[in-house]
Structure 1
Amino acid sequence: MNAIEHSTSTSRRRVRRTALIGTVAAAGLLLAACGGNDDMGGMDHGSKSPSASATSGSNPAPGAFNDADVMFAQMMIPHHEQAVKMSQLADGRAKDAEVKDLAVEIEKAQGPEIEKMKSWLKAWGKPTSPSGGMDHSSMPGMDHGSGSSESPGMSGMMSDEDMKELKAAKGTDFDKMFAKMMIDHHNGAIDMAKDEQKNGKNTTAKKLADDVVKAQSTEVEQLNNILDRL
């Protein structure tokens, strides 16, 4: 091979090596780019999931709801509020230890439930109390008891006079009056909760209605036993 042929052959090998290096480098860049896209895709999915989760978690009573759900919350809030007031009167008035303990339990259970129902209504865009002159007394569970001035005719509600009498009582007289009134009050709440079980649509609201029926039915039995021994 003469000098000219040797030089030409060497140049061709250099060109091939350069092309090969360029191809390898390009392939590396392509893989890196693909890897980067995968990572970014994963990041995108990750950022969307918490966002979607946060949105669904922002509603304390997610899912569909109907008028029965709204009414259940609107009517049960003042009903629970009166039960809490009755329970608070036991402090310094009740004599029986079981009455005292039960009053504390009722306050502890129903206070948080009031806040839950208020949060549902806020999420649903509904007021915390009925409006528009709707006649609830004609609805199931709404026609028992004398009712207070705030919620006339609501199932199991004590009148203003009932509350004054309970507040004025002490010792065993208070214990007996508290037990009798709370039995009526609980039975009213159970009626309202059963109406929600039957006509409500929202899963969270119906779950609370189930809890009310179970817990307050047990407490009614306990209160009846207290009356039997007083």
Structure 2
Amino acid sequence: MKRAALALAAAASLMVLPACGAAGASPSSTAYPTPASLPPFPPAPGAKNNADVQFLQMLIPHHKQAIQMAEMARTKAVHQDVRDLANAIAVTQTYEVRTMTTWLLDWKKSLTLSGRVKTEHEEHSETRQSDIADLGRMEGAKFESTFLAMLIAHQHNAIAMARDEYAKGKNVEVRNLAHRIDLSRTAQVQEMLKAMNRPSGT
């Protein structure tokens, strides 16, 4: 039951991928799609505002941190269901980074934040890089429990940013992406909390 539940969360992560992007990519596969092989989202034409631009600029580095943690968990997590979820996160968020990058470039906008907004985002929404480095030095059950705790907090921040974008953004495609992120990360958090509380020895 536990593995099935996390598999559903993995499927929720992959819900943003079109059929052509997910074909042949099992969440437990060790050779998941790369940025070069994943198709881009449709273009994001139409009206946009500063909230749309800043959402993408904030989420790209945020996603890259989640990918970094997921890459570790693909091989270091103790339980197969956690490794499966890590695979799905790596697939989905690699795809989303490529998509968001494409949109910003199409809009002729910078890929990164600057000034006060950048500092505030790093302080309040991103995981400290030193903590990720510490995670990489852990093994076994300690790694898995720390990974789950860190990623739960990290994905909560993604949910908050997505809901803010959905409320304030103007571009239809960006708001739709934010809604999908809200749904998939909420499912991930719920199942990771259950995984953290699984009986010892199971």
TM-score (norm 1): 0.66
State the Cα RMSD in Å: 1.4
Shift of 1:136: 4.9
Residue 187 of structure 1 pairs with residue 147 of structure 2: no
Q: Verify the 8 A CA contact 1:77 1:114 in the aligned structure 2.
A: yes
**Conserved 8 A contact 2:67-2:94:** yes
Q: Which amino acid aligns with 1:81?
A: K
Q: Give the fraction of aligned pairs with identical amino acids, expressed as a percent.
A: 36
Q: Residues 60-110 of structure 1: CA distance to partner in whole angstroms, max 9, x if unpaired?
A: 101010000000000000000100000001133211111100100000111
Name the SS of the counterpart of 2:76 in structure 1: coil
User: Unpaired runs of 5+ in structure 2?
Assistant: 1-41
Which letter does structure 1 place at the counterpart of 2:51? A
Counterpart of 1:125 in 2: which secondary structure?
Answer: coil
- The residue number in structure 2 matching 1:55 is none
Counterpart selection for 2:60 from 64, 70, 77? 77
Match of 2:135 among 166, 178, 189: 166
SS at match of 1:201: coil
1:175 corresponding residue in structure 2: 144
Tell me how far apart the structure 2 counterparts of residues 79 and 219 of structure 1 sit (CA, whole Å).
16
> What is the aligned partner in structure 2 of residue 90 from structure 1?
73
Distance in structure 2 (CA, Å) of the matches to 1:197 and 1:176: 31
Q: In structure 1, what is the equivalent of residue 25 of structure 2?
A: none
* Equivalent-residue separation in structure 2 for 1:209 and 1:186 (angstroms): 13
Q: Which of the numbers 65, 70, 77 marks the counterpart of 2:48? A: 65
Following the alignment from structure 2 to structure 1, what is the Cα–Cα distance between the partners of residues 132 and 167? 31
| 2:111 aligned with 1:115 | no
Instruction: Give the partner amino acid of 1:185.
Output: H
Tell me whether 1:210 sits opposite 2:179 in the alignment. yes
Alignment partners' CA distance in 2, 1:125 and 1:159 = 29
Correspondence for 2:89: 106
* Residue 135 (structure 1) aligned to one of 117, 121, 125: 117
Structure 1 runs of 4+ with >4 Å offset: none
Cα displacement (A) at 1:154: 4.1
Once residues 215 and 160 of structure 1 are traced to their aligned partners in structure 2, the CA distance between those partners, rounded to angstroms, is: 24
Assess if the C-alpha contact under 8 Å between 1:95 and 1:175 holds in 2.
yes
Number of corresponding residues: 158
Aligned residue number for residue 7 of structure 1 = none
Give the AA of the match of 2:152.
I
> Which structure has more RCO (C-alpha within 8 Å, separation ≥ 6)?
2
Q: Which residue of 2 aligns with 1:124?
A: 107
1:96/1:172 contact within 8 Å kept: no
Structure index of larger Rg: 1
Query: C-alpha distance in 1, partners of 2:167/2:46?
Result: 17
